[in-house]
Amino acid sequence: MLKVAKFGGSSLAGAEQFKKVKAIVEADPARMCVVVSAAGKRYKKDNKITDLLYLTHAHINYGVSYEDIFSMIEERYYGIRDELGLKCDLESEFQKLRGELNQDISVDYLVSRGEYLTAKLMSEYLGYAFLDAADCVVFSYDGQIDYEKTYANIAARAEMAPRFVMPGFYGALPNGRIKVMTRGGSDITGAIVANALDADIYENWTDVSGILMADPKVVENPKPIKYITYQELRELSYMGASVLHEESILPVKEKNIPLNIRNTNRPQDAGTMILETIDEKLVQNKRLITGIAGRRSFTVLTIYKKHISTDTSIIRETLEMLETCKVEVEHITLGVDSFNVVMPTAQVQDRIYDIISDIKRKLKPDRIKMDDNIALIASVGRRMVSVPGSSAKLFGALGAQNINIRMIAQGSEEISIIVGVHNKDFERTIRTLYDGFMNKEGGNEA
Ligand code: ASP
């Protein structure tokens, strides 16, 4: 059994968090490979080391003193080392780095030191080998990760050092220059290590006990989801639930490696298990809906033209016009004599009247209607495909609360039902769906 455990910034923010990480790793000998982010926030108003490093670089660029910021970074690392009684020679590390700061240091290299130093400390603390991501994670010159080379490097090195700590978030170009991923990229590194070593599980340790069934800013104390498929997660993330770095899913999904989101501060919680396919025998509560997510402020254009369903050229031409204006189309629904296009208001608000007059002039529709202030709310659940009456139940719950549904769409593979409501009904709709489908169906299992 081999587990890859990735710890996010909040799990590494200070010595106390390091102690929790050690206890977690030591509790299970299968946790052989550890991937770390840079130290994050200890409390709400604290700074993430990565942000401070970016700020240091900006100060260098503008020729302003970076001393105060850089010493905050040094103090954080010295504090962790000294409190844990470690020996890591941070003095030399910082001396070297300070020398480089005055010599045109690249932003990627500087920022990657957050993960690098966190991993150095953690490897000593756990007694695991330190495996530098610069020697394993390969970027090609087009900026993309070369997965095949990276997998081979990690597999080869893990043979020599099966228990290791690797810094997340960065790798190196073929010429050895450090390159960082997009923010939150340590999730990707963890997934890559899991793929390279055919891990039995990829654990992603953070500060929440898994993915919640709804946004806690809208629903009080939403329950965590126990099991979710990658596809369900994708639908939820697309509709606004942010959990994992999108790209981090691919390397584990490809090999059907379960991804478990866990809470470093509550290791007793099982967290959320994300799988390609779920053995429903494992799931106690066969809830119809796995999670709810939504986004506000969409604009809906309804374009009327007789017999649109037999002559669809006007749809193609409208989409082409929107594409030229670089407007994202979220949904299209088609009726006999009309169709709807749903777009984010922020993208069209300054030019919607130009777009409408262009459509009128070029495509000569019978009529155009515009609605804005529309919120889209997705109820996502893999079981809905096979349960008759799912949508009736959902619409019934909203009807009983007098919530006016302005549009309906179904997501891919019938695993989500999306309703459009007025922005002002956004929170009420989510709460109604949550109360109707999550609370009443009871239990803690998803
Ligand atoms: N430390 C980086 C960031 O703050 C990467 C990560 O945490 O995954 O984005």
Residue 197 CA to residue 158 CA, distance in Å, equals: 8
For ligand 1, what atom is nearest to the CA of residue 185? 8
For ligand 1, what atom is nearest to the CA of residue 186? 8
Q: Cβ(11) to ligand 1 under 6 A? A: no
The rounded Å distance from CA 354 to ligand 1 centre is: 41
The rounded Å distance from CA 10 to ligand 1 centre is: 10
Pairing state between β 164-167 and 129-130? parallel
Check residues 345 and 283 and name the one with the higher pLDDT. 345
Residue 443 has pLDDT above 70, yes or no: no
Residue 353 has pLDDT above 70, yes or no: yes
Average pLDDT of span 315-340: 90
Best probe residue, ligand 1, of 183, 205, 245, 264 (max atoms within 8 Å of C-beta): 183
b or e along 228-262 (b: 16 or more beta carbons within 10 Å of the residue's beta carbon)? Answer: bbbbbbbbbbbbebebbbbbbbebbbeeebbbbbb
Q: Cβ(37) to ligand 1 under 6 A? A: yes
Average pLDDT of span 63-76: 97
State which H helix or E strand residue 17 sits in.
Answer: helix 15-26
**3-state helix/strand/coil string of 298-319:** EEEEEEECCCCCCCCHHHHHHH
pLDDT grade, residue 345 (50/70/90)? very high
pLDDT grade, residue 201 (50/70/90)? very high
Q: What is the pLDDT of residues 129-140, one digit of tens each?
A: 999 999 999 999
Protein residue with its CA nearest to atom 8 in ligand 1: 184
Q: Cβ(169) to ligand 1 under 6 A? A: yes
**3-state helix/strand/coil string of 236-259:** HHHCCCCCCCHHHHHHHHHCCCCE
Q: Cβ(168) to ligand 1 under 6 A? A: yes
Number of residues that this document lists for the chain: 446
b or e along 125-155 (b: 16 or more beta carbons within 10 Å of the residue's beta carbon)? Answer: bbebebbbbbebbbbeeeeebbbebbbebbe
Please state which of the ranges 89-93, 251-255, 271-275, 438-442 shows the lowest mean pLDDT.
438-442
Specify the pLDDT at position 277.
87
Average pLDDT of span 400-416: 86
Token output for 369: 């209607």
**Residues contacting 364, CB < 8 A, separation 6+:** none
Q: Cβ(48) to ligand 1 under 6 A? A: yes
Residue 81 CA to residue 83 CA, distance in Å, equals: 6
Pairing state between β 416-422 and 407-410? antiparallel
Cα 89 from chain centroid (whole Å): 35
Q: Cβ(114) to ligand 1 under 6 A? A: yes
Closest CA to 390 of 413, 422, 369, 415: 415
Average pLDDT, the chain: 92
Q: Cβ(183) to ligand 1 under 6 A? A: yes
Residue 193 CA to residue 210 CA, distance in Å, equals: 21
Average pLDDT of span 289-304: 94
Q: Cβ(182) to ligand 1 under 6 A? A: no
Specify the pLDDT at position 240.
74
Residue 439 has pLDDT above 70, yes or no: no
The rounded Å distance from CA 107 to ligand 1 centre is: 14
Closest CA to 216 of 192, 190, 242: 242
- Residue 2 CB-density burial (10 A; 0-12 exposed, 13-18 middle, 19+ buried): middle
Residue found by looking up tokens 């710890």 in the block: 7
Specify the pLDDT at position 287.
80
Q: Cβ(190) to ligand 1 under 6 A? A: no
Contact, 231 vs 381, CB < 8 A? no
Q: Cβ(186) to ligand 1 under 6 A? A: yes
Q: What is the pLDDT of residues 102-143, one digit of tens each?
A: 888 999 999 999 999 999 999 999 999 999 999 999 999 999
Specify the pLDDT at position 412.
66
Residue 225 CA to residue 286 CA, distance in Å, equals: 12
The rounded Å distance from CA 183 to ligand 1 centre is: 5
**Residues contacting 106, CB < 8 A, separation 6+:** 177, 178
Specify the pLDDT at position 58.
97
Share above pLDDT 70 across residues of the chain, in percent, rounded to a whole number? 98
Q: Cβ(189) to ligand 1 under 6 A? A: no
Closest CA to 78 of 93, 63, 100, 65: 93
